[in-house]
């Protein structure tokens, strides 16, 4: 079979001032981690989320590590996370020497199930990291109530959810801290990069200190603590600012791609379902994801191979943390197991056109219909 074209799953669209701003860095020599683009990117991102403080950093993983360090999470401590997430969420806890305590997800949003959190809280629990998976936000109300009752911090891992909303409130502004990733496949990108948002000035100051090797802000080259070099460069921030200026376009384009899939696919609910958008939520559609019903007898991985031979790149949903060696646990996470085994992400990017979307849906429906029990 001859493949005429390949439709990628994801990829950045750099259609704003990105190039102009990067050239400005090169022309002026401001290529390292000081410079106006770092400051402006932080300022504009704080405005976008409606928070007081935003801190750029090297990537979305250290964006999680820094607040955990600032909260002094260490050996013996526990942090509650969903098992159904990308591994960075768990790793950041592990970097502190603490233990990630896993919680199963809800069948509808695929996010951490708030009803299963309290049974996992012990006297060692310091906080909760929630993950707005694939761009669908977590319903934050119940989470914040549990946290308040047990005196825990809440970090929103919004690496996949820039601009998603919970009852009209933008993610990253609801918990104590929000963290974002600007990896190449995320909603907006800086190549590699991350951002931390918070309204807590003391925490922001502490994270800023730790981000810059722990250098005393009032005495250069004096260090009271062991810090990290977790900074972002001015060149990355230049790209980020260009992307952020166009974020409404990026989010709008993703929503129109998602709507197009919904229009073409929702009538096939006997074959598969899409990750839904709850009525209190605004999905940011990092990835449109589908879940195969039992009636489709083909294996998820087999289906991905068939689509690959049609030139359509897809991706399995994340493997839950408890299935993998570093975080292995005998499964008591049936919902995550089920969704992970039968779900896939389908192309969601800013360059898809109607012809691509028709082609993807046609092939998807064809392969599923051909393999009914």
Ligand X SMILES: *Cc1c(COP(=O)(O)O)cnc(C)c1O
Q: Among 102, 131, 312, 360, which residue sits at the site for ligand X (rule: CB under 6 A)?
A: 131
Q: Which is nearer to ligand X, 7 or 321 (CB)?
A: 321
Question: By CB under 6 A, is residue 183 in contact with ligand X?
Answer: yes
**Do 85 and 110 meet the contact criterion of CB atoms below 8 Å apart?**
no
Q: Which residue's entry shows tokens 């704003």? A: 16
Distance CA 335, CA 227 (A): 39
Question: By CB under 6 A, is residue 327 in contact with ligand X?
Answer: no
As measured in angstroms, the least distance from the Cβ of 205 to ligand X is 23
Question: By CB under 6 A, is residue 89 in contact with ligand X?
Answer: yes
Question: By CB under 6 A, is residue 160 in contact with ligand X?
Answer: yes
Q: Which is nearer to ligand X, 33 or 260 (CB)?
A: 33
Q: Which is nearer to ligand X, 61 or 233 (CB)?
A: 61
Q: Hey, how many other C-beta atoms are within 10 angstroms of the C-beta on 277?
A: 18
**Do 75 and 244 meet the contact criterion of CB atoms below 8 Å apart?**
no
As measured in angstroms, the least distance from the Cβ of 88 to ligand X is 4
**H/E run at residue 348:** none
Task: Give 61's contacts (C-beta < 8 A, 6+ positions apart).
Answer: 88, 91, 92, 181, 194
178 closest CA partner among 12, 77, 46, 287: 46
Question: By CB under 6 A, is residue 172 in contact with ligand X?
Answer: no
Question: By CB under 6 A, is residue 88 in contact with ligand X?
Answer: yes
Q: Which is nearer to ligand X, 66 or 88 (CB)?
A: 88
Q: Which is nearer to ligand X, 157 or 337 (CB)?
A: 157
Q: Among 59, 314, 345, 349, which residue sits at the site for ligand X (rule: CB under 6 A)?
A: 59
Question: By CB under 6 A, is residue 77 in contact with ligand X?
Answer: no
Backbone Cα Rg of the chain: 21
As measured in angstroms, the least distance from the Cβ of 154 to ligand X is 15
Q: Among 181, 197, 198, 314, which residue sits at the site for ligand X (rule: CB under 6 A)?
A: 181
Question: By CB under 6 A, is residue 86 in contact with ligand X?
Answer: yes
As measured in angstroms, the least distance from the Cβ of 214 to ligand X is 21
310 closest CA partner among 255, 261, 363: 363
As measured in angstroms, the least distance from the Cβ of 104 to ligand X is 17
As measured in angstroms, the least distance from the Cβ of 213 to ligand X is 20
**Do 103 and 83 meet the contact criterion of CB atoms below 8 Å apart?**
yes
Query: What would the DSSP string read from start to end of 206-273?
Result: HHHHHHBTTB-TTSTT-BSS---B-PPPHHHHHHHHHHHHTHHHHHHHHHHHHHHHHHHHGGGTTTEE
- Measured at the CA of 175, the angle between CA 173 and CA 181, to 5 degrees, comes to 65
Q: Among 33, 56, 61, 345, which residue sits at the site for ligand X (rule: CB under 6 A)?
A: 61
**Per the structure block, which two tokens stand in for 323?**
């299935």
As measured in angstroms, the least distance from the Cβ of 157 to ligand X is 5
Q: Which stretch binds ligand X (CB under 6 A): 53-61, 115-123, 298-306, 359-367?
A: 53-61
**H/E run at residue 195:** strand 194-198
Distances (CA, A) of 178 to 35, 77, 131, 189: 24, 21, 10, 17
Binding mask 140-159 for ligand X (x = CB under 6 A): -----------------x-x
Question: By CB under 6 A, is residue 67 in contact with ligand X?
Answer: no
As measured in angstroms, the least distance from the Cβ of 324 to ligand X is 15
**Between residue 279 and residue 318, which ones bind ligand X under the rule CB under 6 A?**
none
Q: Among 127, 194, 240, 347, which residue sits at the site for ligand X (rule: CB under 6 A)?
A: 194
- Measured at the CA of 80, the angle between CA 77 and CA 81, to 5 degrees, comes to 130
HEC profile of 107-145: CCCCCECHHHCHHHCCCCEEEEEEECHHHCCCCHHHHHH
Question: Rule CB under 6 A: which residues touch ligand X?
Answer: 59-61, 85-86, 88-89, 131, 157, 159-160, 181, 183, 194
């Amino acid at each position: 079979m001859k493949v005429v074209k390949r439709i990628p799953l994801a990829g950045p669209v750099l259609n704003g001032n990105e190039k102009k701003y990067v050239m400005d860095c090169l022309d002026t020599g401001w290529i390292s981690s000081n410079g106006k683009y770092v400051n402006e990117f932080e300022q504009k991102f704080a405005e976008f989320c409606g928070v007081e403080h935003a801190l750029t950093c090297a990537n979305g993983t250290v964006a999680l590590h820094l607040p955990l360090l600032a909260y002094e999470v260490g050996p013996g401590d526990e942090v509650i996370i969903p098992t159904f997430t990308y591994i960075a969420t768990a790793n950041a806890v592990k970097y502190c020497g603490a233990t990630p305590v896993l919680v199963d997800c809800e069948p509808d949003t695929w996010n951490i199930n708030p009803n299963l959190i309290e049974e996992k809280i012990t006297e060692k629990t310091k906080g909760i990291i929630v993950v707005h998976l694939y761009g669908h936000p977590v319903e934050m109300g119940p989470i914040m109530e549990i946290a308040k009752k047990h005196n825990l911090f809440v970090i929103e891992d919004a690496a996949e959810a820039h601009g998603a909303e919970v009852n009209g409130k933008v993610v990253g502004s609801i918990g104590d801290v929000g963290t974002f990733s600007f990896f190449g496949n995320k909603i907006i990108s800086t190549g590699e990069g991350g951002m931390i948002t918070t309204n807590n000035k003391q925490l922001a100051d502490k994270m800023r200190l730790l981000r810059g090797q722990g250098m005393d802000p009032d005495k250069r080259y004096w260090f009271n603590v062991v810090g990290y070099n977790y900074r972002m460069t001015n060149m990355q921030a230049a790209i980020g600012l260009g992307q952020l200026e166009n974020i409404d376009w990026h989010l709008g384009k993703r929503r129109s791609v998602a709507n197009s899939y919904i229009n073409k696919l929702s009538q096939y609910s006997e074959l598969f379902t899409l990750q839904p958008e709850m009525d209190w939520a605004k999905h940011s559609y990092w990835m449109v994801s589908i879940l195969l019903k039992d009636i489709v007898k083909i294996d998820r991985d087999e289906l991905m191979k068939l689509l690959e031979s049609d030139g359509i790149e897809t991706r399995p949903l994340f493997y839950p943390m408890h299935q993998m060696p570093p975080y292995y646990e005998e499964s008591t996470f049936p919902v995550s197991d089920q969704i992970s085994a039968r779900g896939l992400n389908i192309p969601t990017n800013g360059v898809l056109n109607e012809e691509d979307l028709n082609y993807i849906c046609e092939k998807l429906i064809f392969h599923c219909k051909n393999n009914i029990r």
